[in-house]
Structure 1
Amino acid sequence: MKILLVEDDEALSAILVQNLAAHHYVVDAVHDGESGWTYASTFDYDLIILDLMLPKLDGICLCQRLRSENDTTPILLLTSESASTAKVSALDAGADDYVVKPVDTQELVARIRALLRRSSNCPLPIMTWGALFLNPSTCEVTYDGLPLTLTTKEYELLELLLRTSPNLLSVEEILDRLWSSDDFPSEATVRSHIRRLRQKLVEIGAPQNFITTVHGRGYYLGTLQSEPRPAPTPEQDKQPNYLEFLNHLWSKTQPKALEQLEVINQAIAALQAGTCSQELQAEARQIAHKHVGTLGTFGLNQAMELARLLEQEFSSQTMLSSQQAERLEPLSIALQQTVQLTAKIQSVPGTQSQPNSTIVSIPLQIEPTPRANPRVMIVDDDHAFLRMLPTLLQPWHFNITTLGEPQQFWAVLEAVQPDALVLDIHMPEINGLQLCQALRQQPAWRRLPILVLSSVTDLSTQNLAFTLGIDDYLCKPIVAIDLANRILNRLQRVQAWSQS
């Protein structure tokens, strides 16, 4: 199966090509929308994968242009925007599906298989021909119950014959479907692969004419298709060299990323000086957008969230003010530091627990708080997390009291008289939501800003928290500047209310 990938992030493109090739897809990869249009209108593909934001011609416009030319090839859009408006725009433009960055390669491959099944004449996920079984989900092939070991190209050739038989496939059609546009093999190459594939099938018990040759015209499967048998048990997909591949790619991606992030610093400096152009702000947004996908695909989730925050800020339709730019500076420097300090990718994203702390440090001061040194009390049974907080939040000059023994909550609360309270939900012998409910029943604490910081992410718990009187709900892990800004936001609201 042949796929066109249009993605301007070269690191992400390389990762996707590697994963798709491991699942026996042939991939043409280009890096801008105009090249995507040229390839899509010149060659035949089974599927097209487009990034939403592309140079020269964005993914939405490219999708619309393809559909206006009556191109019915399935299209899957990649986007870092999880908002429903972005998804609706993608589907309205003619896309068949979308995947939100950072790309989970297993989900991507599953969605590709689903789209190909929808557009294929063969709806069964397991393809059979006589005693032959081919499982596209696991890339396993058996004949009469015996496993058949094939090279990548032999597998692709057999799958293509299964999808098209009993129709005849010419050598030219095979070359077009199984080799990328950058390769130029001869017809003898196809005949050589056919000969080796036929030999392996015969050795395992298939008849000599299982792959039938029509001299001068092409090939087809010559036996009748039998009833489907139970699918073979899938084996776990193993990629022992994938982590090595990721680290090799990161060693080339890291210096380029740091160089591109300098553009964001330039845009922030220009905004602060009042000399920034719309073009520079748009370029900064494009770079932040690109790094949401890149960093997330490498498993650098904290850096990804920083890039996402920058992208959201730069997405403003109007020019950002100098005050807004000051808030962006800590984000940008924290992102650069995180990228620079990541010397090695520790584990394959999505397969092992990623190294991840609860909060990201940003060692910079930002705009002053609503009042001098507001008192913030933070209650959590995670003692390591509590030890980090005073240092991490020092730039905002909060007067922080941490409490790791929730049983002492009421005594410490009365002694500290906090201006804002941050609570975990699940703690020994006490529940953060119950504490909130009790506080709201006491007149002295009814207007105390209360924020939940928890690893519990389900919507039902969040809705319950707001019903019980929580002012804000934050999910771990969280970036330091985000926690500080959310606290400041609640303090500013209380200050505005008291002055009204």
Structure 2
Amino acid sequence: MRILLVDDDELLMEALATNLIANHYAVDVATNGEMGWEFVCLFNYSLVLLDLNLPDIDGISLCKKLRTRNYKMPILLLTARDDQEDKVRGLDAGADDYVVKPFDFQELTARIRALLRRDSQNILPILSWNNLSLDPRTCEVKYQEQLLALTPKEYALLELFLRYPKQVFSPGAIIESLWAGEDPPGEESVRTHIKGLRQKFHAVGMAKDTVQTVYGLGYRLKAAEKEKPLPRKKKSQNLALSGVNSSPNGDRSGSVAHRQATTSERIAQAWTEKFQAVTRERVAILDSCVATVFDNQGNDEFHRKARMTAHNLAGSLGGFGFPEGSKIAKKIEQILINQSFSSEDKEQFIKLVQELQLELQHQPFQTNGKSKVASDILLLTISDNVGFTEQLAKLAPEWGVKTAIASTAAAARKLLQQELPDAILLRIAFPEAEGLALLQELHYLKPSLPIAILLEGGTLENRLAIVHEGANLVLPEPVSCQNALASIVELVANSGWGAKIMIVDDDPQALQLLKIALQPWGFQLTLLDDPKKCWDLLETTNPDLLVLDLEMPDFNGIELCQVLRSDRRWGKLPILFLSAHQDKQSQNQAFAIGADDYICKPVRGAELAHRILNRLKRSKVTT
């Protein structure tokens, strides 16, 4: 489905477009009303998202124009104005819904899905090909009831083939269809996505030539003559722990909370890589306009620019995970609405700009400047010792820990269905089969989840059994609540949760696979497919560890590592090479110029995660 975004705030629209594309929508962006009208005349859209405050024609007028020309697609108005009169005017003009900035990306995409479901013209049938199916309403792809995790471009490519199963598409036609409104890539990108689609088909038992190459012409979908059925998997009692289906990336929590966290991570990464610098420039405009606006009140151009800057910040910061920053920007905008200012207005303005600068010093979705590892750990304590758990809950806030308590294994399973914690404290008294069984389930639920055991009694064999089932730490009882909390905080910190990992690889598909493999481990991932931008991105992200591909255009991994090792700031940054070159010469060359580790492709996600964790622990010891 194709969506048009019309808003002059390019920063916010680019972030929203990134989020929608990740949800398998095709997106076009127009920065003014006239451009939006031209797009509607050229293309068929399933939905138009329209800002009320546009520089040339206001959103309500454009909405009326669309409706008078008999365009039936749903229209969603998006604005920083929260006046009831504006809402009524917008709905009377033909809008289907109205969202006030700042907005939550999850809520906005849910409203978009609701509008698309409501529009009968967009209720599309499920597209099928033998045992393969694609549901445009839910954007789910299944083969023999098994869910396939496709990238947005792979999904769009498959949808194109399924809608026109007998047609041959040239690389140029595919580019025109999949990259409409974007800068078109080269034909090599088409071949990369075709290869990725074939690999995922083959992995689930489909024929290798399901996507067939018609030499000299292009590609088409070919019916597989014999498709290997998927082996039936034995149902494990461990799956009952989560109460939901496994997600495509291997994390078995599958809860709404987990999906929201994944979206938050994606937005936070986009903020760090691209939007943080632009936002700082906007705040700098406000900081520098005190003299031009308040002291030289006749400068209308600076006044207008400052007001528009505050308006854009108010609309975008909430969506980027800074709700308090959005409120501050709204207060600044209210001051700038006036044409003349008092000394009190100037003092209040300066104070608000300083508050905004302070608010933007921490990362998105954090309520203060501390990292989550130090200030927002969710700990699930599973123990029937009421006195201990009550005392632990009282002391936990002092350590930046939130607590959830379950007195039985059944109660713990129910809590885990609602939200996945950052760490678990489980009490086991030997001989106790139920505690060991629950420990096994917890480790199966998420292998990277830090688990500490309160052990009553037990021998060396008992400790070994606990460690084999996935425990990370054993605390013999009796133990004080203070020591238990200190141990949990240290355990989470050493687990790599929140560690900033930057990966440089010129293959976008390889980056996406690494992202899927590493996200369940709680890393903050920064992905870069252009090695020329490595230095600038290092400055803005300040990673804890760098992963480099060996062979890349312009600057290869060896050259990048040499430059970093010669720099005083980055000389001690842990650097891990991930390469398809398995020869000893390449490995020796990497270690000779300062690499900390060298891993040969292909590599399992768990192995790579453990190598990263081990390297992070060693770097903490040496610093």
| TM-score (normalised: structure 1) | 0.55
Displacement after TM superposition at 1:107 (Å): 1.0
Cα offset for 1:22? 1.9
1:455-484 Cα distance to aligned partner (Å, 9 max, x none) = xxxxxxxxxxxxxxxxxxxxxxxxxxxxxx
| Map of 1:58 onto structure 2 | 58
Q: Distance in 2 between matches of 1:259 and 1:298?
A: 19
The Cα shift of 1:195 comes to 7.3
Aligned to 1:9: 9
Contact kept, 8 Å, 1:76 with 1:97, in 2: the verdict is yes
* Matched residue, 2:107: 107
2:348 to 316, 321, 331: 331
Query: Could you say if the C-alpha distance between residues 265 and 111 of structure 1 is closer, same or farther in structure 2, counting changes exceeding 3 Å?
Result: farther
- d(CA) in 1 for partners of 2:97 and 2:222? 33
**Alpha-carbon distance between aligned partners in 1 of 2:121 and 2:218, rounded to the nearest angstrom:** 23
1:260-312 per-position Cα deviation (integer Å, ceiling 9, x unaligned): 454476334455xxx465x7655544332212112222333333223223434
Which letter maps to 1:251? A
Distance 2:326 2:122 in 1: 39
Cα distance between partner residues in 2 of 1:7 and 1:143: 39
* Alignment correspondent of 2:322: 300
Cα shift readout 1:324-382 (whole Å, capped 9, x = no counterpart):
x44432332123212333464324x3xxx52299xxxxxxxxxxxxxxxxxxxxxxxxx
Q: CA deviation at 1:67?
A: 3.1
Q: Which moved more, 1:30-39 or 1:19-28?
A: 30-39
CA contact (8 A) 1:281 1:314 kept: yes
8 Å contact from structure 1 (residues 3, 49) kept in 2:
yes
Q: Which residue of 2 aligns with 1:386?
A: none
The aligned counterpart of 2:279 is 253
| Alignment pair present for 1:354 and 2:371 | no
SS across alignment from 1:304: helix
For residues 122 and 8 of structure 1, the distance between their equivalents in structure 2, rounded to whole angstroms, comes to 28
Shift of 1:210: 7.3
SS of the residue 1:296 aligns to = coil
How far apart are the structure 1 equivalents of 2:277 and 2:167?
46
What does 1:421-460 correspond to in 2, within 5 Å?
none
- Counterpart Cα distance in 1 of 2:132 and 2:221: 14
User: Is 1:94 aligned with 2:82?
Assistant: no
Equivalent pair of 1:264/1:284 in contact (CA under 8 Å): no
Q: Give the superposed CA RMSD.
A: 4.2
Q: 1:118 to 1:264 in 2, by over 3 A?
A: farther
Q: Does 1:19 align with 2:19?
A: yes
Q: Is the 8 A contact 1:134 1:142 kept in 2?
A: yes
SS at match of 1:355: coil
Structure 1: 5+ residue stretches without partners: 224-230, 358-500
Contact 1:6–1:36 under 8 Å retained in 2: yes
Classify 1:190/1:320 alpha carbon distance in 2 versus 1 (closer, same or farther; 3 Å).
closer
1:254 touches 1:339 (CA, 8 Å); kept in 2?
Answer: no
Q: Is the 8 A contact 2:332 2:352 kept in 1?
A: no
Q: CA deviation at 1:207?
A: 7.3
1:135-146 alignment, distance < 5 Å: 140-146=140-146
Indicate the SS of the match to 2:70. coil
Aligned CA distance change for structure 1 residues 44 and 125 (closer, same or farther; 3 Å): closer
CA distance in 2, matches of 1:207, 1:122: 32
Q: Residues 202 and 42 (structure 1 numbering): CA distance in 2 closer, same or farther, change over 3 Å? A: same
Could you say if the C-alpha distance between residues 306 and 151 of structure 1 is closer, same or farther in structure 2, counting changes exceeding 3 Å? Answer: closer
Please report how far the alpha carbon of residue 179 of structure 1 lies from its aligned counterpart in structure 2 after TM superposition: 1.2
What is the percent sequence identity of the aligned residues?
A: 40
**Cα distance, 1:159–1:242 mapped onto 2, change above 3 Å:** same
Deviation at 1:92, TM superposition (A): 2.4
| 1:76 aligned partner, one-letter code | L
Hey, what's the Cα distance between the residues in 2 that align with 1:84 and 1:222?
A: 56
Distance 1:6 1:94 in 2: 16
1:53–1:286 Cα contact (<8 Å) kept = no
Q: 1:111 to 1:146 in 2, by over 3 A?
A: same
CA distance change for structure 1 residues 200 and 300 in 2, over 3 Å: closer, same or farther?
Answer: closer
Partner residue, 1:419 = none
Q: Counterparts of 2:150 and 2:349 in 1: how far apart (Å)?
A: 48
Q: CA deviation at 1:258?
A: 1.6
Q: CA deviation at 1:254?
A: 0.4
Gaps of 5+ in 2: 225-243, 248-253, 371-623
- 3-state SS of 1:102 partner: coil
AA matched with 2:88:
V
What residue is the counterpart of 1:309 in the other structure? 331
Which has the higher Rg, Structure 1 or Structure 2? 1
Separation in 2, partners of 1:330, 1:125:
60
1:417-442 residue CA offsets vs partner (Å, 9 max, x unmatched): xxxxxxxxxxxxxxxxxxxxxxxxxx
Taking CA–CA contacts closer than 8 Å with sequence separation of 6 or more, which of the two structures ends up with the larger relative contact order?
Answer: 1
CA contact (8 A) 1:63 1:95 kept: yes
Q: Answer yes or no: is the 8 Å Cα contact 1:258–1:340 preserved in 2.
A: no
Q: Which amino acid aligns with 1:83?
A: D
Residue 288 of structure 1 pairs with residue 314 of structure 2: no
Partners of 1:188 and 1:159 lie apart in 2 by 20
Q: CA deviation at 1:134?
A: 4.5
Find the counterpart in structure 2 of residue 466 from structure 1: none
AA at the equivalent of 1:302: E
Q: Which moved more, 1:170-179 or 1:102-111?
A: 170-179
TM-score, reference length from structure 2: 0.45
Q: Give the match's secondary structure for 1:77.
A: strand
CA contact (8 A) 1:243 1:345 kept: no
Query: In structure 2, do the counterparts of structure 1 residues 219 and 99 end up closer, same or farther at CA, with 3 Å as the change threshold?
Result: farther
The 5 A counterparts of 1:76-475 are 76-119=76-119, 121=121, 123=123, 131-134=131-134, 140-160=140-160, 164=163, 175-184=175-184, 193=193, 197=197, 200-201=200-201, 204-205=204-205, 235=254, 236-237=258-259, 238=262, 240=265, 242-248=267-273, 249-260=275-286, 262-263=288-289, 266-271=292-297, 275=298, 282-315=304-337, 320-322=339-341, 325-342=342-359, 344-347=361-364, 349=365, 354-355=367-368
Deviation string 1:358-413 (CA, Å, 9 cap, x unpaired) is: xxxxxxxxxxxxxxxxxxxxxxxxxxxxxxxxxxxxxxxxxxxxxxxxxxxxxxxx
